[in-house]
Amino acid sequence: MTFTIAALVPSLLNTNGDAENAAVLAQRLRWAGHEARIVAVEDAADLPAHVDAVIVGSGSDSTLEPARARLLTMHDELRRWGTEGVPILSIGTGWELLSWGIETADGGIVEGLAVLPGRAVPRAEGGRITGDLVVRSPRFGHLVGFENHAREYVQAEASPLGRIVAGEGNGRGSSQEGVVMGWVLGTHLHGPVLAKNPALADAMLTEMATRAGVAYEPGEQTAVVDAFAAEARAAQLKAAGVALPA
């Protein structure tokens, strides 16, 4: 079979290369002996008949409204995918657009698609949060990446992706990062996150394969690439002053 990975609105939601998480999934599937294709979905007219995973990357505030308008054309599909258990990875403003809504620094409100709980609000202290981000997730282990955002995330404290080890994450003193609802994931982790965190990528791929009724076993080339990822992770953890248990 051929796995189909949909990258939603990549022309507007790929500021940090986060739409390329789709390429990570597709390549790991090919190394495992499966066929995979990536479909760039700019609006509902581009939607394939079936998807196995969905990536929603990050954009800039200048693209919030046009990106929201395009995602809104796929609102029913996003809700259905989330209910059915299709893995959906959303990052940065892409995640915020799937929330209840976004409050902007000038007092405006951008209504979200309400696929995920919580909302994005301006930082209480002002300014941007930038730097290394390390998260301990009960489902996916330690995750690394970098964060770059001017908003904090509230009202989703019951369902975080994980706890902060280094960085700010959702902010407001929550010590939490991201939000999870089933297989719908929202995070501030850029990188792209799946390239830096193979365990998270393989967890998504295993779920995709299980849903399709086939097996997923990482291929030989995957081990070579994962060794590079391990070195990058070790360097970032050291820079962030994080020592993991042996």
Query: For residues 165 and 142, is the Cβ–Cβ distance under 8 A?
Result: yes
**CA 161 – CA 50 distance, rounded (Å):** 27
190 is catalytic: yes
11 burial via Cβ count (<10 Å: 0-12, 13-18, 19+): middle
- The first and second tokens of residue 84, run together, are 């059915």
Q: Which of 34, 149, 188, 190 is catalytic?
A: 190
Q: Is 28 annotated as a binding residue?
A: no
Q: Which helix (H) or strand (E) holds 198?
A: helix 198-212
Helices then strands, counting H and E runs in the chain, come out as 7, 14
- The first and second tokens of residue 113, run together, are 């698609």
Detail the residues annotated as belonging to a binding site for substrate: 128
- The residues that are catalytic are 190
Detail the residues annotated as belonging to a binding site: 128
